[in-house]
Amino acid sequence: MSSAAWERVIYTLDRLGVDIMKRFLLTIASILATAMSPALPAQSQSYPPYCQQSASEISIKNASRKAFLAGDTAAQTRYGELVTTHAKTLTNCRRQNDFKTEGIWLRLYPCDARPGAIEELLDNIVNRGYNEVFVETFFNGQVLLPVNQNPTAWRSVMAGSGQENVDLLREVITKGRARGLKVTSWLFALNVGTEYVQKTGKQGTIARNGKGQTTIETNLASRAKNATFNPDEAFADPYHPVLRKDFLALVEQVVKYQPDGIVFDYIRYQKGSGPESVVNTVKDLWVYGEASQLGLMQRAINNRGKELISRYLKAGKISAADVVDVDRLYPQEAEPKWHGSQITPEENKLPAERRAQIFQIELWRLAAGHAMQGIVDYVTLASVPVQNAKIPVGAAFFPDGNQMVGRGYDSRLQMWNRFPETIDRYPMAYGTCGKNDCIMDSIQRVLNSSRNQTIVKPIIAGIWQQSYGNRPALDVQMREIRQRFPYLTELSHFSYAWQEPDSDRDRKTCRLP
């Protein structure tokens, strides 16, 4: 039996609590692993393969925590000692592991304000060998701040829970660090929630396309086709100054908590369904919001350029008649000009019909580039207060979100390859081809586009020891990553809810006193 097979047996026994047999098999697995990997130092084999706690240690810690919560002061001391010991064990194990950092993505609920709930949650994460937790701090138009300490434009997660003064973000950072965990805040960026964009004074912040649709309307239209429909989804215009001001204020508030990192998610436009998953024309682009459209018009350098941009946005094309009209309106100007224009004086002397074709190609490039730049500018701007506070900052993205599709683009226009390399890259390698190939290919794609490969920290999806959603088990994916990319030392798993669905359901629906 291979060393990997022994690991799977050990993991299964650990879950079942069969400790004596597990320890026996762990010894055998350690001997096998040493024989198969003689280059590794012997001391690295003194820890379990995935830095997980044993069933007996887990059982003692759980019992101590429950007794402590029941009022047993002696158990409180014992529990505190175990938390400290497990934190040191986790730290030492990760130092000797191929993956120095192994994280998990977590959403908290008002129910986690129950006494001992955060402790139990974080203990479970440590028991599984994770040493970083990405805590969802802004999602679905809600922010993980106490109601009475929430100066942001968004509603508190705790609103209406009866636990309005509980600061879950503060708790999870403090108690996570006590357990040897890095605690990173995870924030949605351009998916700002329907409630926000419908507020008085905020309606103009929503993104619009050239078909007269907002992202709320296109989201509702896709409801029948999309099993993962999210009624709170609303993507905003990245150029809107009100949105930028509000989001920066939110980021600055989170920075005050001094988390170990901040990662931005949803740094993109809405994903279309079916044919709408590709943008081929200017009217497909989310550049018709008031701020984005104004910004695009301001990219004109002369009147001819401005007039052609305006006509292109309205009609979605440029005709020979448009070219003749613009010549007549501004005879004192030569060729139309806008930022990035590559039209030559010689081309501007061609017949109107040919010029219309050239202008339309150039204007498509301008409009698509403007949409893409809005995403890049937004994440760059949001990162400033994080970097000023000396906190690591990153962006989570889909590796295929920046692809050309024929003559068009993936509708997300997620040009992560243009993000500054001062921002860590968290590619969501969620391939569903039933094997590792597509997952590894997406990671490789990001590495190929990153001058500094140490900023690449893949996120893989699934659960331990079994395939899930047409993906291999997490441990299978991890072994492949270790073999293909031995220089990558940080990765994370999406998500805690997938690994503990019953716990997630209970935490989401419990009744608070």
Beta pairing class for 459-461 and 424-429 = parallel
256 contact partners, CB below 8 Å, separation of at least 6: none
- Residue range 323-351, pLDDT digits in tens: 999 999 999 998 999 999 989 999 999 99
DSSP 111: G
Tell me how crowded residue 476 is: count the other CB atoms within 10 A of its CB: 20
137-148: average pLDDT: 97
| pLDDT of the residue at 46 | 77
237-252: average pLDDT: 98
| Distance, CA of 318 to CA of 350 (rounded, Å) | 15
Beta pairing class for 182-188 and 142-143 = unpaired
Residue 39 has pLDDT above 50, yes or no: no
Q: Which amino acid is at 207?
A: A
1 contact partners, CB below 8 Å, separation of at least 6: none
Cα 4 → chain centroid: 30
- Paired with 396 in beta bridges are 426
- Give residue for tokens 């934190």: 87
Residue 252 has pLDDT above 80, yes or no: yes
Q: Following CA atoms 161, 166, 168, 172 in sequence, which dihedral angle do they give, to the nearest 10 degrees?
A: -140
| Distance, CA of 387 to CA of 380 (rounded, Å) | 10
Residue 256 has pLDDT above 80, yes or no: yes
Q: Following CA atoms 466, 471, 475, 480 in sequence, which dihedral angle do they give, to the nearest 10 degrees?
A: 140
- CA-based nearest residue to 276, from 323, 222, 354: 222
- Residue range 452-469, pLDDT digits in tens: 999 999 999 999 999 999
| pLDDT of the residue at 9 | 44
Residue 226 has pLDDT above 80, yes or no: no
Average pLDDT, the chain: 92
| Distance, CA of 495 to CA of 364 (rounded, Å) | 39
| pLDDT of the residue at 49 | 86
Tell me how crowded residue 32 is: count the other CB atoms within 10 A of its CB: 18
Q: Output the six-digit token pair for 239.
A: 């150029």
User: What percent of the chain lies above the pLDDT cut of 90?
Assistant: 87
| Distance, CA of 204 to CA of 284 (rounded, Å) | 19
Residue 149 has pLDDT above 50, yes or no: yes
Please, how many CA atoms are within 13 Å of residue 371, restricted to the half-sphere of its CB? 32
| Distance, CA of 169 to CA of 317 (rounded, Å) | 50
Q: Could you check whether the bond before residue 495 is cis, i.e. omega within 30 degrees of 0? A: yes
- CA-based nearest residue to 445, from 485, 472, 479: 485
Instruction: Assign 3-state DSSP to the chain and report helix, strand, coil percentages, each to 5.
Output: 50, 15, 35
- Residue range 13-33, pLDDT digits in tens: 444 444 444 444 433 433 333
DSSP 505: H
Residue 176 has pLDDT above 60, yes or no: yes
| pLDDT of the residue at 24 | 43
Question: CB of 54 within 8 A of CB of 23?
Answer: yes
User: What percent of the chain lies above the pLDDT cut of 70?
Assistant: 91
Residue 287, CA distances (Å) to 2, 309, 360 in order: 55, 12, 16
Residue 495 has pLDDT above 80, yes or no: yes
| pLDDT of the residue at 227 | 66
235-246: average pLDDT: 98
Higher pLDDT: 229 or 471? It is: 471
What φ, ψ does residue 84 adopt, rounded to 5°? -65, -45
Residue 3 has pLDDT above 70, yes or no: no
Helix (H) or strand (E) holding 104: strand 101-106
- Residue range 9-18, pLDDT digits in tens: 444 444 444 4
DSSP letter for each residue of 258-320: --SEEEEE--SPPPP-GGGGEE-SGGGSS--SHHHHHHHHTTBSSHHHHHHHHHHHHHSS--H
| pLDDT of the residue at 223 | 84
Q: Following CA atoms 208, 222, 284, 139 in sequence, which dihedral angle do they give, to the nearest 10 degrees?
A: 50
